Amino acid sequence: MNLLKNQWFLIGAGLCGILILVVLFLVLPNGEVTQPIAFNHKKHRDNNVPCIVCHRFYKEEKRAGIPPVNVCITCHEDVIYPTPEKIKIQNYFSQHKAIPWQQVYKVPGHVFFSHRLHVNRGNLACKSCHGEVGQLEQPVTKQLIPLKMKYCIDCHKTVETIDNPYECIRCHR
Amino acid sequence: MPRWGMVIDLNTCTGCGACIAACKNENNVAYSSPEEAENGRALSWINLLPRYEGEFPNIHIQYYPMLCMQCDNPPCIKVCPVRATYKADNGIVAQIYPRCIGCRYCMAACPYTVKYFNWYEPKWEPEMIKSFNPDVSLRPKGVVEKCTFCHHRLIEAREEAMVEGIEFQEEQFVPACVETCPARAMHFGDLDDPNSMVSKLANSSRAVRFLEDLGTEPKVYYLSASEKLI
């Protein structure tokens, strides 16, 4: 018998196809990353740890810097109430391993971006580009505000000192 | 707004090729194999165009460093269907690589043939990967690239001046080839500033430009004793 003439076979195959698509949609990464430690920005903020303790470079360099483990260990060396997450930090430290944080905010190589310019001269708060990261109780796994080109230019249009916000080579290199 | 331009003194230029090497390193220009070069697919944003005069042994050789002329009236931008190449306010003819679709119309339109197509995935010797210039992006296969007057150096210099809160100075921006030239045959600066070295040289009687009758208004001037360019 010719299978392709059997309507039940065709319907079955179609349903299987849809099922596979649905499963793929759920399984494939949707732009979110997983972080190695359940880092809690809000808890540190509530304990009055300022951003610059961990993101040490945003005032002097173009990058902000994701903290290495020896920054964490300055406060988490002796643990009074150990939790699995804090133990993880000490394990990374004692094994001389870097915590494999996944960088979430990243511009492609053909774009120039500078933190010190925007933070010092532009006088911008972190949240104007990164959203309320300080209020997050989970690690950052996706961009709260998608930092697309339109977002950069829309803000530059409101800045008086920038004469032509559409000048491509202001940002592209 | 400055209007960036360059002056190359052909009487001082020895044709040593240091500008070519400096440019390749500065801009992460990919290296090509001999076969690729034979097919005319090698990438080099500066080339030495030689001219031989006379009979051996009384031969006179003149080299012309050819780079993007950063025309004030560039033919290449008029044919770009996606505006990936355009003239910026400061006169630099920009090439926005992610925007480029690789149609190569601009290469055909350029009378100086100083635009180059990436025929291959860029490749380097493994030892060289670490020596990339992080300030310049790597061009993928399938886009057109060319000399940018090292405008990434302008971005960096402007950012530094802005962060320090000082006025940006013309001297802070020098392309890699000009900086390297051991004979000091290359000069760079603002053509609109009457006090700058380049504007003085560009207005001197020795200054000539390539294919001036096409009306492209190149911003790369050559100082020549013979008054005539090929």
**Distance in angstroms (rounded) separating the CA atoms of residues B211 and B230:** 8
For residue B148, CA distances in Å to B80, B117, B159, B201 come to 17, 15, 18, 22
Name the residue in chain A with its Cα closest to that of B98: A110
pLDDT tens digits for range B106-133 = 999 999 999 999 999 988 888 888 889 9
The strand pair at B186-190 and B47-53 is best described as unpaired
Q: B66 pairs with which residues across the strands?
A: B47
At A17 the pLDDT is: 74
Name the residue in chain A with its Cα closest to that of B88: A167
At A23 the pLDDT is: 63
pLDDT tens digits for range B130-166 = 889 999 999 999 999 999 999 999 999 999 999 999 9
At B52 the pLDDT is: 87
**Distance in angstroms (rounded) separating the CA atoms of residues B70 and B79:** 16
Contact assignment for B98 to A120 by CB distance below 8 Å: no
Give the pTM. Answer: 0.91
Q: Which two tokens stand for residue B16?
A: 């040593």
pLDDT tens digits for range A154-170 = 999 999 999 899 999 99
Smallest Cβ–Cβ distance between A173 and the set B88, B151, B162 belongs to: B151
- DSSP letters along A21-75, please? HHHHHHHS--S----SS---HHHHHHTT--HHHHSTTTTTSSS--PPPHHHHHHH
For residue B119, CA distances in Å to B129, B141, B144, B167 come to 20, 6, 9, 42
**Hey, how many other C-beta atoms are within 10 angstroms of the C-beta on B108?**
12
**Distance in angstroms (rounded) separating the CA atoms of residues B203 and B12:** 18
At A27 the pLDDT is: 57
Contact assignment for A169 to B94 by CB distance below 8 Å: yes
Indicate the average pLDDT of chain A: 88
What is the least distance, in Å, from the CA of B215 to any CA of chain A?
A: 25
Amino acid at A83: T
pLDDT band at B229 (very low <50, low <70, confident <90, very high): low
B162 — phi, psi (to 5°)?
-65, -40
Residue pair B114/B66 in contact by the 8 Å Cβ criterion? yes
- DSSP letters along A110-121, please? TB---HHIIIII
At A16 the pLDDT is: 65
A163 at B interface, C-beta within 8 A: yes
Checking if the pLDDT of A125 tops 70, the result is yes
Contact assignment for A169 to B96 by CB distance below 8 Å: yes
- Residue B156: its chain A contacts at CB < 8 A? 112
ipTM of predicted complex = 0.89
Contact assignment for B155 to A169 by CB distance below 8 Å: yes
pLDDT band at B177 (very low <50, low <70, confident <90, very high): very high
pLDDT tens digits for range B65-120 = 999 999 999 999 999 999 999 999 999 999 999 999 999 999 999 999 999 999 99
Distance of CA B173 to the CA centre of its chain: 14
The matching CATH number, chosen from 3.30.70.20, 3.40.50.970, 3.40.1160.10, 3.40.50.80, for B4-223 is 3.30.70.20
Indicate the domain borders of chain B.
4-223
Contact assignment for B137 to A109 by CB distance below 8 Å: yes
Q: What is the DSSP letter of B26?
A: H
Name the residue in chain A with its Cα closest to that of B155: A170
Q: What is the DSSP letter of B204?
A: S
Over residues A116-145, the mean pLDDT reads 93
A95 — phi, psi (to 5°)?
-90, 5
What is the least distance, in Å, from the CA of A137 to any CA of chain B?
A: 33
- DSSP letters along A135-164, please? G-SS---S-SS---HHHHHHHHHT-TT-S-
Closest CA to B177 of B166, B185, B169, B168: B185
A110 at B interface, C-beta within 8 A: yes
A100 — phi, psi (to 5°)?
-75, 65
**Distance in angstroms (rounded) separating the CA atoms of residues B172 and B121:** 34
Contact assignment for A172 to B152 by CB distance below 8 Å: no
pLDDT tens digits for range A56-103 = 999 999 999 999 999 999 999 887 888 888 889 999 999 999 999 999
At A103 the pLDDT is: 93
Contact assignment for B89 to A167 by CB distance below 8 Å: yes
What is the least distance, in Å, from the CA of A173 to any CA of chain B?
A: 6
Q: CA torsion sign, B7 to B104 to B42 to B38?
A: negative
Side-chain half-sphere CA neighbours of A71 within 13 A? 13
What is the least distance, in Å, from the CA of B55 to any CA of chain A?
A: 46
**Rg for chain A, CA atoms, rounded:** 23
What is the least distance, in Å, from the CA of B144 to any CA of chain A?
A: 14
Indicate the domain borders of chain A.
41-66+101-170
